[in-house]
Structure 1
């Protein structure tokens, strides 16, 4: 689910609603366009929400595990991105 997918659905729905003059028996193109626009809007809002919280959850790759008070040496631990964040 990306932001571009929501925008594409909104654009497609707008084209079907206001630019297409075509009649199909039993199907209203204007209603299909409005449904696509609403679905695109929901998709867009969810994608923005997901991106907002995904950027906040990034953990650092290098953390200080312990520090020696006498020599002031720090021991670092390298972690891959798939490990949970150290709190």
Structure 2
């Protein structure tokens, strides 16, 4: 489940927990909403920790530029200037 699915779980859980007035026999809708929000929060934290591990920066080797030796005759760099 991705980050979007976790956010949808949190939103649906919040709607069920706080914005509904339903009464179903054998089902506590408010408790189902709280459970969905908790599962969504666990998913968000898990997703963010996995995404943080993927962003490990591997150091690259430094680029060393070679110096050109100019002989002073004007033609050593190939442009004739």
TM-score class, shorter: 0.5 to 0.7
Q: Where is the strand percentage greater, Structure 1 or Structure 2?
A: 1
Q: Aligned residues, how many?
A: 61
1:1-87 pair list within 5 angstroms: 1-56=1-56
* TM-score, structure 1 as length reference: 0.62
Q: Which runs of 4+ in 1 moved over 2 A?
A: none
- Scaled by the length of structure 2, the TM-score of the pair is 0.66
CA RMSD after TM alignment: 2.0
Partner of 2:55, secondary structure, is helix
The answer for unaligned runs of 5 or more in structure 1 is: 64-87
What is the alpha-carbon distance in structure 2 between the residues aligned to residue 23 and residue 15 of structure 1? 14
Structure 2 residue runs without a partner (length 5+): 62-81
